[in-house]
Amino acid sequence: MQLEDYFNFLRPDDIRVKGTRIGIETILYDFIHRARTPEQILQSYPSLTLEQIYATITYYLHNKEAISAYLADWLEWSHQQWKAQELNPPPGIIRLRKLKAELESQQKANKSKILA
């Protein structure tokens, strides 16, 4: 079996573990940035096998330059999506923020009454 056989190459910016909807960036982010072991990653993603996790890490190590660029692009895209959502939050988030502000205001008022 070739190492590439573990993956579905959907687009240049979308590589998934074959038989799952999990992108290699998910595994590699945990491995590289969170310093999680393959066994710890497996606990978070039970639809994966330990073999698939090791294959992903091995693929990264064999293609470090290209996959590092892939991850950098993914991180930049993720950051842009987060910023866009912050600027234009969905209605549910707006409602939750409003409720949180009201609750905090109510708690401050109650605290002021107690201290008075």
Report domain extents, the chain: 3-89
pLDDT at 93: 87
Give ∠ CA 45-47-48 in degrees, rounded to 5: 75
Q: Residue 116: its pLDDT value, please?
A: 65
Which one of 3.50.50.60, 1.10.10.10, 2.90.10.10, 3.30.450.20 gives the CATH number of domain 3-89?
Answer: 1.10.10.10
Q: pLDDT value at position 44?
A: 95
Secondary structure, 3-state, the chain: CCHHHHEEEEECCEEEECCCCCEHHHHHHHHHCCCCCHHHHHHHCCCCCHHHHHHHHHHHHHCHHHHHHHHHHHHHHHHHHHHHHHHCCCHHHHHHHHHHHHHHHHHHHHHHHHHC
81 pLDDT more than 70: yes
pLDDT score of 42:
97
Q: What is the pLDDT of residues 7-59, one digit of tens each?
A: 999 998 899 999 999 999 999 999 999 999 999 999 999 999 999 999 999 99
Average pLDDT, the chain: 92
